[in-house]
């Protein structure tokens, strides 16, 4: 089951490690919590399909989609603002 209408901003591990190194070396005067995410917003369903394509997995008819609206504890929109990290 893949959640549609549940928004996230995935990031490739190479991009994340590069951003963390930059934050550690170039943003030494910034403290506190900072979000580092990918630029593209996608649903968890779209992300799951992309990962299956990446790993060459053909799930065929075994995939079902749910909205995520009625699932307790599932945050529907976790888009982050990364203004500090982008400056």
Q: Give pLDDT, residue 82.
A: 65
Question: Is the confidence at residue 62, as pLDDT, over 90?
Answer: no
The overall average pLDDT reported for the chain is 86
Please give the structure tokens belonging to residue 61: 């008819």
Sign of the C-alpha dihedral computed for residues 8, 9, 11 and 17 taken in this order:
negative
Q: Give pLDDT, residue 83.
A: 64
Q: How far apart are CA 84 and CA 47, in angstroms?
A: 26
Q: Give pLDDT, residue 85.
A: 57
Q: How far apart are CA 79 and CA 60, in angstroms?
A: 29
Mean pLDDT of 29-58: 89
């Amino acid at each position: 089951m893949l959640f549609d209408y549940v928004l996230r901003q995935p990031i490739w591990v190479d991009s994340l490690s590069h951003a963390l190194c930059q934050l550690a070396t170039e943003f030494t005067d910034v403290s506190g919590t900072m979000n580092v995410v990918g630029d593209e917003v996608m649903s968890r369903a779209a992300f799951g399909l992309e990962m299956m394509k990446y790993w060459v997995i053909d799930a065929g008819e075994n995939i079902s989609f749910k909205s995520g609206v009625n699932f307790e504890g599932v945050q529907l929109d976790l888009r982050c603002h990364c203004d500090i990290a982008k400056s």
